Amino acid sequence: MEQEIYDIAVIGGGPVGMFTAFYASLRHVKTILVESLATLGGQVTALYPEKTILDVAGFSGIKGSAFIAELDKQLHLFPVDIKTETTVVNVEQTGELFTVTTDVGEPFQAKKVIITTGKGAFEPRKMQVEGVDELVGQGVHYFVTHKQDFANHHVAIAGGGDSAVDMATMLNQVTASTTIIHRRDNFRAMEQSVLALEQSTVIRETPKKITHIEKENNGQLKITLEQVKDSDSVSDILVDDLIINYGFISENKTIQGWAIQPEISGQVFKVDQAMQTSVPGIFAVGDASHYSGKSDLIAIGFGEAPHAVNAAIRQFDPLRGGPGHSSSMVLKDGTIS
């Protein structure tokens, strides 16, 4: 059977992969988007569907899940083949084309490949307190998928980064009380997020560390806190839930076993100004790419996507010109062509 040939294959259906595939379809090239998980949205869907995202253009604050729903609507404006629950297990160069093999179905070919696989599989950084692992699911959590699960609960959040601070102010809207526990006095989060925390009723236990957690007979958790640099200063708090928010660790094994091996920096792909990796015709954008000064933000990935798509098109269709503005595709009757 003849293999299907795409102009552009986008590997990874996180927010940046979704926008990359949409932008490719906007340029009217035959595009496929492949995602390992059952649902699109990458880290936003898996890790923070309830968080309000403030730093993407055009939204004055949007819940993670609603943001992905908007990206999904945009992705469906023009034809894109979307394969979920499909992991790319090999990419190899076959003459002018790349052959992409997945764990399900037939391999397909693509003129150019854009890698948007993020930083690979990730897992939460674990709390190093004896016995805490046994309490996961019994009041101790590493993930929050529905904030209403914590309605009227007394909740403690351990951590002091962006995600912990945002989680504290978000959950505080529904909890009976929210306490944030951090081992430093200063929180390492966006300035406006810290301001919002300071102006909220969230109780701040700083600079303190958790030394012991115990389940009480009434189901509550007794958390023992020790003042940093003063081990004699110890106190207990009682809560219904403890959410551990120490960030995530990832191990990028995405291209293990792939025939093509683009140069890596850290755990991600080194790219040039056109977002091309060291293998001509293979591009990387979003969290999967690295260059000097790179930040892992959705807005940055959205800026990188058109660079990669346009550069890829220039390679296989140098006479096409463009890109134009998307408004140039609106027909006289107002519909989008």
Ligand X SMILES: Cc1cc2nc3c(=O)[nH]c(=O)nc-3n(C[C@H](O)[C@H](O)[C@H](O)COP(=O)(O)OP(=O)(O)OC[C@H]3O[C@@H](n4cnc5c(N)ncnc54)[C@H](O)[C@@H]3O)c2cc1C
17 or 262, CB closer to ligand X?
A: 17
Contact 163, 263 (CB under 8 A): no
Nearer to ligand X, 16 or 97 (CB): 16
To 10 degrees, what angle do helices 162-171 and 191-198 make?
40
Q: Of residues 60-79, which lie at the interface with ligand X (CB under 6 A)?
A: none
Residue 57 CA: distances (Å) to CA of 53, 142, 243: 10, 29, 30
Tell whether residue 47 is a contact of ligand X (CB under 6 A): yes
16 contacts 287 by C-beta, under 8 angstroms: yes
User: b/e string for 7-46 if b means 16 or more Cβ within 10 A?
Assistant: bbbbbbbbbbbbbbbbbbbbbebbbbbbbbbeebbbbbbb
Lay out the sheet containing 241-244: strands in order across: 140-141, 241-244, 154-158, 177-181, 203-205
Query: Binding mask 7-36 vs ligand X (x if CB under 6 A, - otherwise)?
Result: ----xxxxxxx----------------xxx
> What minimum distance in Å lies between the beta carbon of 327 and ligand X?
26
Q: How far is the CB of 297 from ligand X (least distance, A)?
A: 4
Nearest C-alpha neighbor of 301 from the set 285, 316, 280: 285
Q: Which stretch binds ligand X (CB under 6 A): 38-46, 214-222, 306-314, 324-332?
A: 38-46
Q: Residues 31, 43, 175, 193: which binds ligand X (CB under 6 A)?
A: 43
**Of 156 and 298, which has the nearer Cβ to ligand X?**
298
If binding is defined by CB under 6 A, does position 88 make contact with ligand X? yes
Choose, by CB under 6 A, the member of 49, 160, 262, 301 that binds ligand X. Answer: 301
Residue with tokens 């083949």: 81
The number of residues in the chain equals: 337
**Binding site listing for FAD:** 35, 43, 48, 88, 122, 287, 327
Residues forming the site for ligand X (CB under 6 A): 11-17, 34-37, 42-44, 47-48, 53, 55, 87-88, 116-118, 163, 248, 254, 286-288, 296-299, 301
